[in-house]
Amino acid sequence: MKRIMIANPKGGVGKSTLATNLAGWLAKNGKRVMLGDIDRQQSSRAWLSIRSPGLPYIASWDIKPGEPARPPKHTTHVVLDTPAGLHGKRLEQTLRMVDHIIVPLQPSLFDIFATRLFLDELLKTKQYRKDAVRIAIVGMRVNARTRASGELERFLENTGLPVVAHLRDTQNYVQATAHGMTIFDLSPSQGAQDWEQWVPLLRWVEPV
Tens-digit pLDDT profile for residues 173-203? 999 999 999 999 999 999 999 999 999 999 9
Lowest mean pLDDT among 6-20, 99-113, 135-149: 135-149
Q: Are 9 and 186 in contact (CB under 8 A)?
A: no
CA dist 207 and 148 (Å) reads 31
Query: Does residue 68 have a pLDDT over 80?
Result: no
Which residue in 181, 176, 172, 175 sits closest to 48, CA to CA?
181
- Stretch (H or E) spanning 164: strand 163-168
Please, which contacts does 126-132 make with residues 24 or more away whose CB atoms are closer than 8 Å?
126/92, 127/92, 127/95, 127/96, 128/95, 132/95, 132/99
Query: Does residue 29 have a pLDDT over 80?
Result: yes
Q: Are 105 and 138 in contact (CB under 8 A)?
A: yes
What mean pLDDT, rounded, does the chain reach?
87
Task: Place 66 in a pLDDT band, splitting at 50, 70 and 90.
Answer: low
Lowest mean pLDDT among 13-22, 39-48, 62-71, 145-154: 62-71
- Stretch (H or E) spanning 28: helix 15-28
Distance of CA 107 to the CA centre of its chain: 17
pTM over 0.85: yes
Q: Which tens digits make up the pLDDT trace of 128-172?
A: 666 778 889 999 988 777 777 778 888 888 888 888 999 999 999
SS3 3: strand
How much is the average pLDDT of 84-98? 78
How much is the average pLDDT of 109-130? 80
Domains belonging to the chain, first-starting first, are: 2-205 (3.40.50.300)
Can you give the pLDDT at residue 39? 63
Tell me which amino acid residue 203 is.
R
How many of the other CB atoms lie within 10 Å of CB of 140? 26
Can you give the pLDDT at residue 64? 67
How much is the average pLDDT of 103-132? 81
How much is the average pLDDT of 114-121? 85
